[in-house]
Homo-oligomer: A and B are copies of this chain.
Amino acid sequence: MNTVFKALADPTRRKILELLRERPMSAGELADHFDVTRPTLSAHFAVLREAGLVESAKKGKSVIYHLRLSVLEDALLGFAAGFGIGELSAPAHPQDPEGTKP
């Protein structure tokens, strides 16, 4: 949970998550949206992966990243709930919560 907030502390990483919200994207495709070098972005991916916020899958030459919405949701709402913020129905996860897919 600390790793999630640490990951969220960087604007580049938050933007990566926002891009991934639309659809899964390859590392190179993501890189086209930023001015930093690919090694730098790769390091950001590692932080996000470490926090459980994204998952990666090799696809040919590329590596496809996709968002793990449930992790973001749990961290954000879990923390907010402690403050009485977001007294709202948690939406059913549209995404696989944990590696339960074949």
Q: Which residue of B lies closest to A77 (CB)?
A: B86
Cα A17 to Cα B5 with chains together (Å): 14
From B2, B93, B95, B97, give the contact of A11 (CB < 8 A).
B2
Q: 7 A–B contact pairs at CB < 8 A?
A: A5-B14, A6-B9, A9-B9, A18-B82, A21-B82, A73-B80, A96-B98
Q: How large is the interface on A (under 10, 10 to 19, 20 to 34, 35 or more residues)?
A: 35 or more
Q: How far is the CB of A101 from chain B (nearest CB, A)?
A: 6
Chain A contacts with B in 9-35, Cβ cutoff 8 A:
9, 11, 14, 17-18, 21-24
A2, A76, A86, most chain B CB atoms within 10 A: A86
Residues of chain A having any CB pair with chain B under 8 Å: 2, 5-6, 8-9, 11, 14, 17-18, 21-24, 67, 69, 72-73, 76-77, 79-80, 82-88, 91-98, 101
